[in-house]
Amino acid sequence: MADVYSVEAGSILQNRAFSVPQGAALEVKEINGSIFESIRAKLVHIAGDTVCFLDGKEGRLSEISYAGETQLTIPATAFLEKERFDFYDLIYIIHRLRDKDGCEWDKAQTHESIRSNAVEEALELVEAINHKDIPNMLEETGDVLLQGAFHAVIAEDNGEYDVYDVLSSMCKKLIFRHPHVFGTVKATNAEEALAAWEAAKMKEKKQKNVTERMTHIAGSLPQTMRAAKVQKYAATVGFDFPNAEESAKKVTEELSEFLAADEENKEMEGGDLLFAAINTLRLKGVNPEMALLRSVEKFIHRFSRIEEKVTASGGKMQDLDLAALDAIYEEVKREE
C-alpha cells in the first residue's frame, strides 16, 4: 500500500510552502465550502490538473465541484508522469544523474569544475531582469537554483555537507540577521532595516571594525561591486563625501592626475579615477556594475546600427574618418 500524506485543508492554505513526500498519496481533510475553491486552486498549483477523489468520487481537480464533501485524495503519481515538481524533486534528480548508472558528465563534476557556472547563470538572470523578460527570468532563476543544489549534492557525495545543512544554515542566518522581524529590534523604514541587518551581520561574523568588514568582501567580486561595498562601509562611520556633486570634484581631480601620470603610475591613477567615479555613482544611488553593463549594451547596439548604415550605403567603416562616423552615431541616437 502506498504511503499517505494526510493534512488538514486549513494547514495547506496557511503554509506558503507545501510539498508532498515522493511516492505518497495526498489526503486533504476537513474541507468546507468556504475554502474549497482556494484549496482546489492551490492543489492544482502543487500537483497539476491531476485525477483526484472527492469523498470517493473520481474527477479531475479542475472539474470537481463542492457538494458538502470533507475529504479529497490525490493518488501517488509516478515520478516521470508528474506535472509539477518541487525543490526536493530537484535534489532527487541531481542525485539520480550522479548515480553509478547516471549521466557520465554529471558524475564527473566537482565544486571546482562547475564554479564558473554560478557566475554565468547569475549574470544571465541579471540580463533577463534588465530586459524585463519574465519567461526568461523564470528559466534563469531555475538555473541559478540548480547551481546551489548541484553544489549541495556534490558536497553530500564528498561527506562535506548536504542540502539540509545548507537550508538550515541559510534559515538560521536569515532569522539572525532580521532581528527587526524575528526579534525585538525596531525598524520603521528600509534604512533602519538595513542598519539592523548590517549590525547583526557584524555580530555574526565577529567583525570588530570597518576594516575587518572591508577585508571580508570577496576579492572575486567584480571590482566595481567591491569598490562600492568598500565605500559604503566607509560611509557608515562618516568617511564619505556629503553628496555626489562634491564627489564629482574628486573625479575631475583624479582625471587630471591620470592624464599626467607616467608609465609606472598610470595604472594606479587609472584605478583611482575609476574608484572616484564609482563613488559618485553610489552617492547618486546608481549600481556601478549595472550602469556599466547597460552602457556597454547600448554602445554595442549603436555601433551595430552604424555598421548597418555604412554597409547599406556601400561603404566600409575603415574608410570613413572619425567625424563621419560620429555624425552617423548622432543620427542613430536621434532615431532612438
Instruction: Give pLDDT tens digits for 38-68.
Output: 999 999 999 999 999 998 889 999 999 888 8
- Give me the percent of the chain exceeding a pLDDT of 90: 77
Tell me if 133 sits within 8 A of 296, measured CB to CB.
no
Query: pLDDT band at 143, cuts 50/70/90?
Result: very high
Which grid cell is 47? 500537483
Could you check whether 87-161 and 207-286 share the same CATH topology?
A: yes
Note whether 288 and 225 are within 8 A (CB). yes
The answer, yes or no, to whether residue 147 has pLDDT greater than 90, is yes
**Residue 32, φ and ψ in degrees, nearest 5:** -140, 170
Q: Which CATH number fits domain 207-286: 3.40.50.300, 3.40.50.2030, 1.10.287.1080, 1.10.10.10?
A: 1.10.287.1080
- Predicted structure pTM score: 0.75
Q: Where are the domains of the chain?
A: 4-81, 87-161, 207-286, 289-335
How would residue 19 be classed by pLDDT, with cut points 50, 70 and 90? Answer: confident
Convert the pLDDT of each residue in 180-215 to its tens digit: 999 999 999 998 998 898 889 888 888 889 999 899
Q: Which CATH number fits domain 87-161: 3.40.50.170, 1.10.287.1080, 3.40.50.300, 2.40.240.10?
A: 1.10.287.1080
Mean pLDDT confidence for 68-78? 91
Predicted pLDDT of residue 86: 92
